[in-house]
Amino acid sequence: MKYAEDILRAKQLGTEVFKNLPSSSTQRWKLSYLILRWGNRTFSVTQCGVALSVSILNYGGKRNQGGFWCEREMITRFKKNKKKRGHVNAGHGRIGKHRKHTGGRGNVGGMHHHRILFNKYHPGYFGMFYCPIVNIDKLWSMIPQDVKEKASIDNVPLIDGVLPPSQPVIVKTKLISKLAEKKIKEGNGAIVLTT
């Protein structure tokens, strides 16, 4: 008796759902499917023309205990793989048959069979980046002798390097440590950060 009540309720709901579909949509679909879920039961509702047929797909099991909701299944003739019908393996090959990991798992092959894509979309992915470092005591030696002679508090030389010295200089750099920044400012110098 409970089955009959459930099927009747699903049929009523299916009628409401199909009625609310746009007329062009119902005319276009000669055969329409709905999956209705109510409590812990799942129903398949099929519309062919005006008639509805309802069947219980499963009964029992812990599903949402809420009210009705519905999902429309994908219509076969609108599926993307319809184009591939008639071509034996539908583009997936006779041997592999769309199984396993054909190109390898994850980022494997970045230096081998996926090299072109890695070079194109992720340049610089492999290898190490060398960031040249200059110690503060060596920085003053990078300045040419004629610039050193002209250097004063008012005429400060610019060093395009990494770290500052104890003498007042302007250091143009991308990266600098907190300790180096502190030392350069104590020596009345300045830092110009570049991007």
Per-residue pLDDT reduced to its tens digit, 67-123: 444 455 678 888 999 999 999 999 999 999 999 999 999 999 999 999 999 999 998
- In sign, the C-alpha dihedral spanning 21, 25, 26, 30 is negative
By the 8 A CB rule, do 189 and 172 touch?
Answer: no
Residue 57: the pLDDT is 55
Task: Evaluate if residue 22 carries a pLDDT over 60.
Answer: no
CA neighbours closer than 13 Å in the CB half-sphere of residue 97: 2
Task: Evaluate if residue 128 carries a pLDDT over 90.
Answer: no
Band (31; pLDDT cuts 50, 70, 90)? very low
Per-residue pLDDT reduced to its tens digit, 156-169: 887 765 444 556 77
Q: Torsions phi, psi of 103, nearest 5?
A: -100, 5
Band (62; pLDDT cuts 50, 70, 90)? very low
Band (175; pLDDT cuts 50, 70, 90)? confident
Rounded CA gap, 56 and 61, in Å? 13
Residue 112: the pLDDT is 97
Question: Looking at 111-115, 130-134, 177-181, which range is the least confident one?
Answer: 130-134
Q: Which residues contact 103 (CB under 8 A, 6 or more apart)?
A: 109, 113, 114
Residue 170, beta-bridge partner list: 158, 190
Structure tokens at 81: 């793989």
Structure tokens at 126: 């492999």
